[in-house]
Amino acid sequence: MLPQSVSPKNYHLSCGLGASLYLGYWELKLAVISSKLGMAAALALSFSSTTVFAADIAQNSLNLVDPAPLATQKPAVDGVNFKLSAVTGVIGGYSNHMFIASMATPMPFFPSFGIQLDLGVGEYRHDYTSAAAGLHLFYRNPDTGMLGVYGDWGYVDNEHGGRVGVEGAIYNGRWSLDALAGVRFGTHYETEFFDEVDLSYYFTDNFRGSVGHRLISRGHVANVGFEYMSDNIAGWSVFGEAEAGEDNYSGAWVGLRYSFGNSSASTLIERDRIADPIVRIPRNLASLTRCGSIANPADWHDSWNGFETSKSNKICGSKSHLKKHNAVENKAND
């Protein structure tokens, strides 16, 4: 029975309106659910496509900055490669023995660019610790040459300093020209220009000889070097350098090196141009071989640590550098 205040006509109208609203609500609900399902499907499809594309890039080493066809592109570093070296000799008149490790790899998505990290630790003059680290970031075309930035740090109890600059190489048949130029800086250096230049010739695919120039904290230095890789024992090579220059500086060292990794290089000339660039350790320690302490604050020198300039009571350089600041040499022979 209907309430007296509600007529049959109004009651049927209300019921019809309520049913319409109820059905309309569920139609809207279903539309929203369908919309969300469609969006989810679209997102899933999009994600799947992106994943496939990323996998395709990784699989084919797609170079996003090289306009050359994929089949003709050559990476700066042919895979992830390593070098382990043991070095012994003399730097600046004192013995130095080091273990050196290097790792080189192409940059993901930009294989025309490469990265190499060098680390070394050893013993200097039987009573000092020597250590060094270097980082290369570079572009390379294995057919023509490379260009990049380089930075390193060297330490010989208790003095240390860094270098930063631009390095490059030109390849022409059996000839290679390698160069590094920049600024030497640190708490124990006067901020100065430095360079390393090497002109190399590969007498065979596995034997390289070189002549070069260095500008270290002690002055100009002439250098000769070699490396020979065995034809029969994969990855193994012997190498060495000898140098002499101003301020009575001299140095000579030999080493044994083992190279391994993903590279397809089977000869020394291929390794040097497609696997990993030159290792500049222990070369960078040469500037730390004549150092002295400055007693009078008035003679302290200006040093730059890469962020700010301050006064320092120790200096590494030539004998004339030390004399200029009345420094007493603390790496003299006992």
Residues 6+ apart with CB under 8 A from 235: 258, 259, 260
Q: Write the pLDDT tens digit of every residue in 75-133.
A: 999 999 999 999 999 999 899 999 999 999 999 889 999 999 999 999 999 889 999 99
- If phi > 0 it is left, if psi is from -120 to 50 it is alpha, else beta; for residue 28 that is alpha
Dist CA 92 CA 98 (whole Å): 15
pLDDT reported for residue 320: 94
Q: How wide is the angle at C-alpha 266 spanned by C-alphas 262 and 268, nearest 5°?
A: 110
Domain ranges of the chain: 1-60, 77-288
pLDDT reported for residue 63: 52
Dist CA 143 CA 79 (whole Å): 17
pLDDT reported for residue 69: 52
pLDDT reported for residue 288: 95
DSSP bridge partners of 161: 154
Residues 6+ apart with CB under 8 A from 56: 62
Q: What is the pLDDT along the chain (334 residues), one digit of tens a residue?
A: 444 444 444 444 344 444 444 444 444 444 444 443 344 344 333 433 433 333 334 334 445 455 555 445 689 999 999 999 999 999 998 999 999 999 999 998 899 999 999 999 999 998 899 999 999 999 999 999 999 999 999 999 889 999 999 999 999 999 999 999 999 999 899 999 999 999 999 999 999 999 999 999 999 999 999 999 998 898 999 999 999 999 999 999 999 999 999 998 999 999 999 999 999 999 999 999 999 999 999 999 999 888 889 999 999 999 999 999 999 998 754 4
pLDDT reported for residue 67: 54
pLDDT reported for residue 30: 40
Q: Write the pLDDT tens digit of every residue in 255-272.
A: 999 999 999 899 999 999
Instruction: Give Dmax (Cα) for the chain.
Output: 122
Tell me if 151 sits within 8 A of 134, measured CB to CB.
yes
Pairing mode of beta strands 291-294, 327-329: antiparallel
Nearest Cα to Cα of residue 128 among 153, 152, 154: 154
CB count, 10 Å around CB of 324? 14
pLDDT reported for residue 72: 57
Tell me if 124 sits within 8 A of 157, measured CB to CB.
yes
What backbone torsions phi and psi does residue 101 show, to the nearest 5 degrees? -125, 140
Domain 77-288 has CATH 2.40.160.40: yes
Full-model pTM:
0.78
pLDDT reported for residue 68: 54
